[in-house]
Structure 1
Amino acid sequence: MSSKAGARYAKSLIDLSKEQNALEEIKNDMAFFEKVVDENSELEAILKNPIVPLDKKSGIVNGVFGEKIHAITKSFLSLVIKKGRSAILFDVAKQFVEQYNILKGIVTAEVTSASALTEANRAEVVGLVKKELGANEVIVKEKINPDLIGGFILKVGDRQFDASIASGLAKLKQEFAH
């Protein structure tokens, strides 16, 4: 779930990061923040809970991330919490990374296949996505789904290409049903 406020905060932080020549460090911080919150549902619950006092939220965030993050990131997180907007911090982090990737021409391709991709398959996916979308870099996220039997499903943004055997069999089955 992404919010307009999350996108605006992320855009502001990107602008500030570029101004301060700290874009890479802050992108790493936001990716780190997103990962930590994603893996710790208790932390996410605290950030979203309106009953938890703001100073306690600040203390927890500072305790978890403290010296591991850039001073700008630390100030930003603190400011958002003080404004009572800690519930959108996870979204801001996700949006920041997405906006950074767009800025740098980095595309994420999700590949779901029946078994793990070989290096050759991975290179083929990267080459195809770079060529089709003009991307500078492609991050391949792999998922394994044995139900596909063979082939793969490639998803980039809102586009999906289904070259799985299971999908082909389903189409055949549908054609024979008519």
Structure 2
Amino acid sequence: MSEIVANRYAKALFEVAEERNSVDAIETQLISVAHAISENEELRRVLLHPQINSAEKKALVDKLFDKEVGLEVMNLLRLLIDRKRELIIDEVLEAYTHMADFKRGILDVTVTTAVPLDEEEQQDLAQRLGDVLGKKLRMHVKVRKEIIGGILLRIGDRLYDGTMAGKLAGFRQEIKVGK
């Protein structure tokens, strides 16, 4: 549920950022704020505390971030506080970054293999996938021995399973169904 709400805030902020030609600057500011909140346990406690009113929380946020962020991000923070959604800033940042990356033609791809890929293999895979998809890729590489062999790709919301474990699971299902 909070993901849907975070997407709405991110979309509104992104539209303002596009109008003002400041997509990158606002992303940098969001990263700074999200990092500060996630790294500071005391700040998170204050933002979550039910007995601290919105005005006090906004005053604190103004004091902490006034010099670091622009009006757009500051207004977002104030709005989140007013709506008691202070701690969805990470989700807003994630949604905003996806929108900004889409505009930049960058696609996040998670590659999972049974054995580590060396740098050359990673670059080759990124180049081939990028050519097929017509995008620049930001690759995240993971290793999971239980996939036995092959490759598991997550591109956006889609999962492409070319692993041995996935094929074996498919065979098991076919045997159960009796195809």
TM-score normalised over the length of structure 1: 0.74
Say if 1:176 and 1:92 are closer, same or farther in 2 by CA, change over 3 A: closer
Structure 1 window deviating more from structure 2 (41-50 vs 112-121): it is 41-50
Deviation at 1:31, TM superposition (A): 3.5
Amino acid at match of 2:86: S
Change (3 A) 1:170 1:12: closer
2:109 is aligned with 1:106:
no
Matched residue SS, 2:120: helix
2:30 pairs with 1:15: no
Whole-angstrom CA distance in 2 between matches of 1:152 and 1:41: 39
User: Against the structure 1 CA distance between its residues 10 and 174, is the aligned structure 2 distance closer, same or farther, given a 3 Å change threshold?
Assistant: closer
Deviates more, 1:69-78 or 1:157-166: 69-78
Give the 3 Å change call, closer, same or farther, for CA 50–24 of structure 1 in structure 2.
Answer: same
The separation in 2 between residues aligned to 1:58 and 1:64, in whole angstroms, is: 10
Matched with 1:156 is 155
User: Aligned residue for 2:89?
Assistant: 89
Q: Secondary structure at the match of 1:163?
A: strand
CA deviations over 1:92-136 (Å, ceiling 9, x no partner): 22221111112221110011122322122212332233223221x
Deviation at 1:154, TM superposition (A): 0.7
Question: How many equivalent residue pairs?
Answer: 177
Q: Structure 1's 147 and 37: CA in aligned 2 closer, same or farther, altered over 3 A?
A: farther
Report how far residue 155 of structure 1 moved. Answer: 0.7
Normalised TM-score (structure 2): 0.74
Q: What is the CA–CA distance in structure 2 between the aligned matches of 1:132 and 1:107, rounded to whole Å?
A: 12
Cα offsets for 1:17-55 (capped at 9, x unmatched): 233332211112224444555667776676566554223
State the identity as a percent.
Answer: 27
Per-residue displacement from partner, 1:77-105 (whole Å, max 9, x unpaired)? Answer: 23432354435433322221111112221
The answer to whether the 8 A contact 1:113-1:145 is kept is: yes
Amino acid at match of 2:158: R
Q: Say if 2:167 is the partner of 1:168.
A: yes
Please tell me whether the aligned partners of residues 33 and 93 of structure 1 are also in contact (alpha carbons under 8 angstroms).
Answer: no
Q: 1:76 maps to what in 2?
A: 76
Separation of aligned partners in 2, 1:114 and 1:85 = 40
Q: Who is 1:141 aligned against?
A: 140
Q: CA RMSD in A?
A: 3.2
The match for 2:24 is: 24
Deviates more, 1:23-32 or 1:70-79: 70-79
Q: Tell me whether 79-88 or 95-104 shows the greater mean CA deviation.
A: 79-88
Give the secondary structure class of the aligned counterpart of 2:115.
coil
**1:117 aligns to what SS in structure 2?**
coil
Instruction: Give 1:124's aligned residue.
Output: 124
